[in-house]
Amino acid sequence: MIKEIKLPEVSDNVDSGDVVKILVAVGDKIKIDQPIIELETDKAMFEVPSSEEGTVTEINVKEGESIKVGGVILKIESNGVDVKKDIKSEIKAEDKEEVKAEDKSEIKAEDKSEVKAEDKSEIKAEDKSEVKAEVKSENKPSEIIPVNSERANLLKQVSESVKTDSPPSQKTESFIKSEKKESAPASPSVRRLARELGIEVDDVTGSGQGGRIIEDDVKSFVKSIMSSSNGTGISVSNKSLPDFKNWGEVEIQTMSKVRAITAESMSYAWSTIPMVTQCDKADITNLEEFRKNYSKKVEAAGGHLTLTSILVKVCSEALNKFPQFNASIDLTKKEIVLKKYFNIGIAVDTDRGLLVPVIKNTDKKSITEISIELNELAEKAWSKKISLDEMDGGNFTISNLGGIGGTNFNPIVYSPQVAILGVSRGSKEAVYVNNVFEPRLMLPLSLTYDHRIIDGADAARFLRWIAEALENPLLISL
């Protein structure tokens, strides 16, 4: 019996990847969970395991080409074993209810309870639908609060001010005033992306099989609205470049997957988020002595006590004290989502581009535990072994360029986060202390924040709190 092994949905907001290496050949006998290809997405590089057992009869991908979720990787002659396995999926039902899915994905619930899909839309999926449930933290749920009228007006004014002073185009008006269409087929991850970008997924035309909406369709729809809203209908990002060969020799390099997605994400963030950067300095003279005194103890435990690992703990406490920085904004619903969990991303410079591993539940971990985990995640990022799960779920990001140099910089907020901390190189400065100038080690800090939901005064207090915590290492342990 010939069976197809397809690329499963590997992570939210990831609908395709590039085949880096094929790990099997025609004629090979493979087992369930045996790696068959190496795949690179915008977030990570990893091995895709087989969901079937049998002999490879045909390989449908080539190294270097792109494959979408649901695309056929290879075909096998099975041994009569019919195993359907979803990577990373384990269905848990409350009160020990069993969820049974047959070939046509019938969902049976006890007591004849109704299954309601998002926006009351039916869940439609290709080829034997998958029903995925988002897993939320049991102890740290998210809290959704409505935006008051004053804040809603401010959001609208600021959002309009960063886009254009021109009146909206007919296309934009028709988009805003369009009547509700019949619910479109799209996965939960694509629907969530549409919400984060502030659009109705039902207004998007799908290019997938059977009109299914994929991530690229949502992004293209947003780009078309943004390019039309300036009244010219021309998108600056799509403007053709001159032929540079007219003036000399050039070299053309194809963007890596990570670099291309980074460029797209940063362009979107810069175009849609009104960002302001608040700067301050922290006197880390005493902190540096503290770090040196305890570095050997942390190294013995398997980590490195760095300024970044200390900052992770400090920022975790700051987010707890200033909850508006641990939030996301939903303009379509006029709501602010306040997160009750603390996951902090660390920007890591790699040969593939900028990757952001995430340390989760930082409020529950000591500085030593954070130092060990940060060291492990950085090593995985550099060696291309970091997983998608280890890069998802960040609420706040730290970008430390102090090891390279510089006196200050303005980092860009990672949507849907609302703030990011930039750290530059510390240097000795003459500081007036107790009527005397003393040489002190001063650390430049830059906080970029989303001005739609964070005011300047709150940003100044947040950054000053971080600076004072660094200036008094005892406060960190307390």
Q: What is the pLDDT of residue 183?
A: 61
Tell me the pLDDT tens digit for each residue of 264-277.
778 888 888 899 99
- What residues contact residue 361 under an 8 Å CB cut-off, 6+ apart? 140, 341, 342, 343
Q: What is the pLDDT of residue 55?
A: 92
Q: Does residue 55 contact residue 23 with C-beta atoms inside 8 Å?
A: no
Tell me the pLDDT tens digit for each residue of 181-225.
456 688 877 887 877 677 788 888 888 877 889 888 888 887 776
How many Å is the Cα radius of gyration of the chain?
Answer: 25
pTM, two decimal places? 0.59
Q: What is the pLDDT of residue 14?
A: 73
Q: What is the pLDDT of residue 228?
A: 52
**How confident is the prediction for the chain on average, in pLDDT?**
78
Q: Mean pLDDT over residues 36-54, rounded?
A: 82
Q: Mean pLDDT over residues 414-434, rounded?
A: 93
Q: Mean pLDDT over residues 413-423, rounded?
A: 94
Ordered structural domains, the chain, with CATH: 2-85 (2.40.50.100), 144-236 (4.10.320.10), 274-477 (3.30.559.10)
Lowest mean pLDDT, pick from 76-80, 230-234, 333-337, 346-350? 230-234
Q: What is the pLDDT of residue 16?
A: 82
Lowest mean pLDDT, pick from 34-48, 227-241, 317-331, 428-442? 227-241
Is 451 a catalytic site residue? yes
Q: What is the pLDDT of residue 395?
A: 95
| Residue 332: band (very low, low, confident or very high) from pLDDT cuts 50, 70, 90 | confident
The answer on pLDDT for 100 being more than 80 is no
Where are the strands (E) in 2-68, listed by range? 2-6, 16-22, 29-30, 35-40, 45-49, 54-59, 66-68
Report the side by side order of strands in the sheet with 66-68. Answer: 45-49, 35-40, 16-22, 66-68
Higher pLDDT: 98 or 280? It is: 280
HSE-CB at 431 with a 13 A cutoff on CA atoms is: 14
Q: Mean pLDDT over residues 369-392, rounded?
A: 90
Instruction: Please work out, in degrees rounded to the nearest 5, the angle formed at the alpha carbon of residue 245 by the alpha carbons of 240 and 246.
Output: 95
Query: From the candidates 451, 454, 463, 467, which is the catalytic residue?
Result: 451
Q: Which long-range contacts (CB under 8 A, 24 or more apart) does 28-36 make?
A: 28/55, 28/56, 29/54, 29/55, 29/56, 30/54, 30/55, 30/56, 30/76, 32/83, 32/85, 33/85, 36/5, 36/73, 36/74
Q: Mean pLDDT over residues 132-147, rounded?
A: 47
The answer on pLDDT for 236 being more than 70 is no
**Distance (Å, rounded) from C-alpha 363 to C-alpha 365?**
6
Higher pLDDT: 12 or 122? It is: 12
Q: What is the pLDDT of residue 263?
A: 81
Q: Mean pLDDT over residues 239-252, rounded?
A: 85
What DSSP character marks residue 224?
Answer: H
The answer on pLDDT for 338 being more than 60 is yes
Tell me the pLDDT tens digit for each residue of 149-183.
555 554 455 455 444 444 444 444 444 444 444 56
